[in-house]
Structure 1
Amino acid sequence: MARITASVYTSHVPAIGAALDLGKAQEPYWQPVFAGYDYGKEWIKEQKPDVIFLVYNDHATAFSLDFIPTFAIGTGAEYQPADEGWGPRPVPKVIGHPQLAAHIAQSVIQDDFDLTIVNKMDVDHGLTVPLSLMFGQQDPQHGAWPCAVIPFAVNVVQYPVPSGRRCFQLGQAIRRAVESFDGDLNVQIWGTGGMSHQLQGPRAGLINKEWDNAFLDRLIADPAGLAQLPHIDYVREAGSEGIELVMWLIARGAMSDVAGGPAPEVKQRFYHVPASNTAVGHLILENKQ
């Protein structure tokens, strides 16, 4: 059967993508950020995932305010990098896994979660920046991402947004779906976005190191309790865009310990301030076989 072997958590700051694309990764400002992903780059070479189920939020590229799905699963064969106003990122197109994506959609919808099925869309920095952080820069003309990717877009832009509890439960449904797939696949689930940041208003530039690290503590040791955190706590403590962290609960809910297995092994934990106007968090949890 297919199995989820690990979960990866990371910020998806657009300026990180720009720093990579413009060759600034070794500049003094950016070098500490990218150093935090050195371990992950080596780790993922050993893990060799067949498919990444990548949870992210669209930034008004595939979906506008005219049409806002709460949960949208990409079931297409491929996805082009989006033009976010300054041209597409110079990265390869993303190759999907239509068979597994369609199976997950079928299973999760029958498990009483309403998903929007998307057969065609472009993917923005929310998805491509995490891939670049973990796999490094890829040649868009001759290279390719090392594995298939299933995009899973979550609305954390326009209220109402899904609760942390709902996201955590959805992760559990995704694990059940993956494990019922008739095929031997090594699947990783990634939760992206966050950590604390606010982009507008009198609190623009807010970063809350203490809250961010407490969130990481609870994500590792008490995910079920963390899933009960109300929206207002995210907004008050982590800023208006800190609500993106509910997407990490989808990935955490898909781990084996939530279904009664052993606690996952923490392979990497990294936190850095600042990267552009936000805090960067990164975590790798590996299921024990």
Structure 2
Amino acid sequence: MARITASVYTSHVPAIGAALDLGKTHEPYWQPVFQGYEFGKQWLKDNQPDVIFLVYNDHATAFSLDMIPTFAIGTAAEYQPADEGWGPRPVPKVIGHPALSAHIAQSVIQQDFDLTIVNKMDVDHGLTVPLSLMCGPQDPVKGAWPCPVIPLAVNVVQYPVPSGRRCYNLGKAIAKAVASFDEDLHVQIWGTGGMSHQLQGPRAGLINKDFDNDFLDKLINDPEAAASIPHIDYVREAGSEGIELVMWLIARGAMADAAGGAKPKAVQRFYHVPASNTAVGHLILENT
């Protein structure tokens, strides 16, 4: 049967993608950021999954204010990098896994979560930057990501947005769905976005190191407490875009201990500020 072997958590700052694409990774400003992902890149090579289930938020690319699904699962065979106003990122197209994604959709909906089924969409930096950080640069024509990817887009852009508890419980439902898939697959679930940042208003540029590191502590050791953080705390403490951290709770809810299993092993933890006026967080947890 399929099983979730690990969860990966990372920021998806668009400027990180630009630094990668423009060859700026060794510049003094960016070098500490990319150095923090060297472990993760080697770890992924050593622990290559059969499928990555990647939780991210769309930035008005596939969706707009005309239509905003709370949770949207991609069921397509492939996804093209989106043009976000300055051309698509020079990265390979993303290959999907229609059989597993359709199975997850069926199972999760039967567990009373309403998912929007998306058979065609482009994917923006929210999805491609994490892949670049963990996989390294890839030739957009001859290159390929290491395995199929199932995208799950979460609305954290326009209120009302899902609660941390709802996201955590969705992760549990996804884990149950994966475990019922009748094929021997190693699946990783990635939660992306965050950490503390605000892009507009008088608090633009806000970074809260204490909140971020406390969240990482909770995510590792007390995910129930992390799932209980109210929306207002994210906004007050982590900025208007800090709400993206609820997406990490989907990945955390899919780990074995959320369903009564063994506590996961933390094999990597990284935190750095600033990166384009935001905080960058990265964590890897392995099921034991």
TM-score range, shorter chain: over 0.9
CA deviation after TM superposition for structure 1 residue 73, in Å: 0.1
CA deviation after TM superposition for structure 1 residue 277, in Å: 1.2
The equivalent residue for 2:142 is 142
1:208 aligns with 2:190: no
Once the two structures are superposed, residues 80-107 of structure 1 have per-residue CA deviations (whole angstroms, 9 ceiling, x without a partner) of 0000000000000000000000000000
The equivalent residue for 1:55 is 55
1:213 is matched by which residue type in structure 2? N
Mapping 1:96-135, distance limit 5 Å: 96-135=96-135
The 1-side partners of 2:241 and 2:30 are apart by 22
The 2-side partners of 1:93 and 1:67 are apart by 24
The equivalent residue for 1:91 is 91
The 2-side partners of 1:134 and 1:212 are apart by 21
Aligned residues: 288
The equivalent residue for 2:68 is 68
1:229 is matched by which residue type in structure 2? I
2:110 is matched by which residue type in structure 1? Q
The 2-side partners of 1:63 and 1:162 are apart by 17
Mapping 1:1-289, distance limit 5 Å: 1-288=1-288
Describe the SS at the equivalent of 1:285: strand
The 1-side partners of 2:205 and 2:228 are apart by 26
The 2-side partners of 1:277 and 1:97 are apart by 35
Describe the SS at the equivalent of 1:219: helix
Describe the SS at the equivalent of 1:275: coil
The 2-side partners of 1:8 and 1:104 are apart by 19
Unpaired runs of at least 5, structure 1: none
Once the two structures are superposed, residues 100-142 of structure 1 have per-residue CA deviations (whole angstroms, 9 ceiling, x without a partner) of 0000000000000000000000000000000000000000111
Once the two structures are superposed, residues 6-33 of structure 1 have per-residue CA deviations (whole angstroms, 9 ceiling, x without a partner) of 0000000000000000000000000000
The 1-side partners of 2:42 and 2:273 are apart by 23
- Runs (4+) of structure 1 exceeding 4 A deviation are none
CA deviation after TM superposition for structure 1 residue 228, in Å: 1.0
1:280 is matched by which residue type in structure 2? V
The 1-side partners of 2:90 and 2:250 are apart by 29
